Amino acid sequence: MASVRSNLRRIALLGGLAGLIMVSAAVKAGVDLPKLEHGKGEHCVEDTQYMRRHHMELLFHHRNETMHQGIRTTKYSLTQCVECHASSKTGSVAASKEDFCVACHDYAGVKLDCWDCHATKPMQRKTAPTAARPTPSPMLAGVSK
């Protein structure tokens, strides 16, 4: 009788262990990292791991320079992020759950308010770049740079 009981206890123990392993496997499967679409070009402006951790600092610094000093370099500009990372399906970085910005920010649970004001889609080129200035600026008339 005692041996049957110990056998039963052993079976229950093993079953419990197997159950635990199955549950943890399921949890692991449920927290897959977001699958991001590869942006345009070979690589980002900085190393991917660096960008993951520090992109907000780069953007913060650049936005102040652009806003207050009129520095309009493209390397760390938000519009340049959108240019490269806009989704091929939605054409946006924040239109669906799979889009570049939203996918990660949803996963991390970090709210971002960039898109309250900034366009989530790249610039629509209306005319060819050469025809960008139909009327030459009067302050420049006749002067070559």
Partner 1 sequence: MTDRQNQPDQSAQPEDQGRRSFLTAGALAAGTAVAPGVMLYGIAYGRPPEEPASAKIRWGMLIDTTKCATGCTDCVSACNTENGLSGKTGPQDSQWIRKVDLKDLRDGRVTSLPMMCQHCENPPCVDVCPTGASFKRADGIVLVDRHICIGCRYCMMACPYKARSLVHEHLTDQNPEVPRGIGCVESCTFCVQRVDRDETPACVEACNAAGHQAMLFGDLNDPLSAVARALKTQASEEVRADLNLNTGVRYQGI
Residues of this chain that interact with partner 1 (CB under 8 A) are 63, 65, 67-74, 79, 82, 116-119, 121-123, 132-135, 137-145
Q: Which is nearer to partner 1, 49 or 144 (CB)?
A: 144
Q: How far is the CB of 141 from partner 1 (least distance, A)?
A: 5
Q: Which is nearer to partner 1, 27 or 128 (CB)?
A: 128
Q: Is 143 left (phi over 0), alpha (psi -120 to 50) or beta?
A: beta
Q: How far is the CB of 48 from partner 1 (least distance, A)?
A: 24
Please, where are the H alpha helices in the chain? 2-30, 48-64, 78-85, 100-108
Tokens of 44: 């980002």
Q: Give the number of residues written for the chain.
A: 145
Q: Which is nearer to partner 1, 36 or 59 (CB)?
A: 59
Distance CA(72)–CA(69), nearest Å, equals: 9
Query: With 0-12 CB in 10 A as exposed, 13-18 as middle and 19+ as buried, what is 101?
Result: buried
Q: Which is nearer to partner 1, 34 or 114 (CB)?
A: 114
Q: How far is the CB of 69 from partner 1 (least distance, A)?
A: 4
Q: How far is the CB of 35 from partner 1 (least distance, A)?
A: 26
